[in-house]
Structure 1
Amino acid sequence: MEAYFARIGYTGESVAVPETVRALVSCHVRSIPFENIDPFLGRPVAIDLPSVEHKLVRGGRGGYCFEQNTLLRAVLTEMGLHVKGLAARVLWQAPENCRPPQTHMILCSKIGGVPHLIDVGFGARTPTAPLRLDTEGEQVCSHGVYRLLRIGEDFVLQMQIDGQWLPLYRFDLQRQTQEDYKVFNWYSSTYPESQFVRELIAARAHDRGRHTLRGRELRSYPHQGAGSISMLANPRELCEALADVFGIRLPAGQQVTHAFAALFARGESA
């Protein structure tokens, strides 16, 4: 755990109490960026713990939900918490009443005797703190206001955005196995219509707000004041943004160069 603590800048105790879990989640989302560079490049995404630890902790990279939450689950388990892996259907920006496949990994654990949702891998709308499952009331995090509505055996996570409650994803408490996650991960990282295959995405929280990237579009969402949007001009600016804004150590090789050049070529022809 020492390497993980160093990676996220956590200097507290490794005891399974609510304050520690909240601090770990907060440090994690500020230090390990959400990114999908590997599936965007057509590379396989390994989600076994040694591969995830090598990439996210020692390799200077980020990852998406299957990597991020696999890593945090291992840390919390080593601290003595019983952590259950769940799966969610992403509703964000989906048509109303649709029922998409389960493509998002989340965690559930009792913290201080209360069941909580824990998720450090939902990109720009990742909750920056564990969320209680025993209330439908508002839950204020450092980077947003959330609520969990109960619909039968399911929960729907919503986020307050511009005064509206918008759905992020829907889930139940059915435990998922590593074999389940292998299938979900394979689909998310290889299906031609998956957003992780088609688009380059990155997100990272920081003390003053969040940064997000989608393709050439770099956005900043500060806690105070108006946000900003900038269109990156060329692959060099994209590489600099990924390194300087999101803290991502890009993989070496011509594959990155070619893929980023193609991304800008598509933009110019659009």
Structure 2
Amino acid sequence: MSDAIDLAAYLQRIDYRDAPAPDLPTLRALAVAHAAAIPFENLDPLCGMPVRLELDALERKLLHEGRGGYCFEQNLLFAAALRAIGYTVHGLIARVLWNQPEDAVTAQTHMLLQVEVDGDSWLTDVGFGSMNLAGALRLEPGVAQATELEPFRLLERGGEWRMQACVRGDWLTLYRFDLQPRAFIDYVVANHYVSTYPESNFVQHLIAARTLRDRRLTLRDREFTVRRPGAEPERRTLGDSAEVCRVLEQEFGLRLPDRAALQRRLDVLPG
């Protein structure tokens, strides 16, 4: 897959106005800007539409059509931008453990990135929805690392790593992974599974998330939640599909595809 991204269009989409350089401050700033500007969303699989991972499809959807996407789309686009700036980037794959037991055996359905900066390895991930990293973590186990929202940390045992976030005082595991770089085809296969398997959350439920500097916005079916550090979550249940669409547009900044078809699908969601 070509990484010849339109870097100017990408930087405009995420409203990044400085001259990018392959250093750590830029990596962190890009991750924060990306997470705020390009929301996590699953409208295509929810509506039975294919999810393409080729770079031209990602640019068209996420840069020019005002859409977002989930982990494979988000992190493949981010990786292409980072490589265009001059970073060395390796794609990794993970087993999600968020809201699962620590010993759960889940499929490899999440993508994250390992980025080399000045001889050090860093992890970044702009595609984990409600707990988006929106920053970069040094590849160092057992150390709490600050972000603009929650602290994150990495644990390592026998070559297996776990990404954790401190949520209201508790360290919770997001996913587990190893450091073996993955080929594009691995993401194509995993993407097909999560976007078409009948029991996939992305097929059954509406999921959207946006990570801003001071808060996290999430929408699952009709439950809209705002989470701020140190405060109780603010939740409200949305009414009809028209209200859901308004929230997607106004709070998540999405330009909606085929509104009538989307509303018909939203009409049969739980809640």
Give the structure 2 partner of residue 111 of structure 1: 117
Give the structure 2 partner of residue 169 of structure 1: 175
Tell me by how many angstroms 1:225 deviates.
3.4
Give the structure 1 partner of residue 66 of structure 2: 60
Give 5+ residue unaligned stretches, structure 1. Answer: none
| Alignment of structure 1 residues 1-270 onto 2, 5 Å | 1-223=7-229, 225-263=231-269, 266-267=270-271
Tell me by how many angstroms 1:97 deviates.
1.1
Tell me, in whole angstroms, the C-alpha distance in 2 between the residues paired with 1:237 and 1:77. 39
Residue deviations 1:208-229, cap 9 Å, x none? 2111000000000123533210
Tell me by how many angstroms 1:246 deviates.
0.3
**Aligned-residue identity in percent:** 43
Tell me by how many angstroms 1:207 deviates.
2.9
Q: Secondary structure at the match of 2:265?
A: helix
Tell me by how many angstroms 1:254 deviates.
3.2
Q: Secondary structure at the match of 1:262?
A: coil
Q: Secondary structure at the match of 2:91?
A: strand
Q: Secondary structure at the match of 1:139?
A: coil
Tell me, in whole angstroms, the C-alpha distance in 1 between the residues paired with 2:105 and 2:70. 21
Tell me, in whole angstroms, the C-alpha distance in 1 between the residues paired with 2:95 and 2:125. 14
**Structure 1 residues 262, 149: closer, same or farther in 2, change over 3 A?**
same
Residue deviations 1:185-231, cap 9 Å, x none? 00010111111111100000123211100000000012353321000
Q: CA RMSD in A?
A: 1.1
Tell me by how many angstroms 1:105 deviates.
0.8
What's the TM-score, normalizing by structure 1?
0.95
Residue correspondences, number:
265
Q: Secondary structure at the match of 1:157?
A: strand
Tell me, in whole angstroms, the C-alpha distance in 1 between the residues paired with 2:126 and 2:17. 19
Q: Is the 8 A contact 2:206 2:220 kept in 1?
A: yes
Tell me, in whole angstroms, the C-alpha distance in 2 between the residues paired with 1:77 and 1:112. 14
Q: Is the 8 A contact 1:33 1:247 kept in 2?
A: yes
Tell me by how many angstroms 1:43 deviates.
0.8
What's the TM-score, normalizing by structure 2?
0.95
Give 5+ residue unaligned stretches, structure 2. Answer: 1-6
Give the structure 1 partner of residue 4 of structure 2: none
Tell me, in whole angstroms, the C-alpha distance in 2 between the residues paired with 1:111 and 1:124. 27
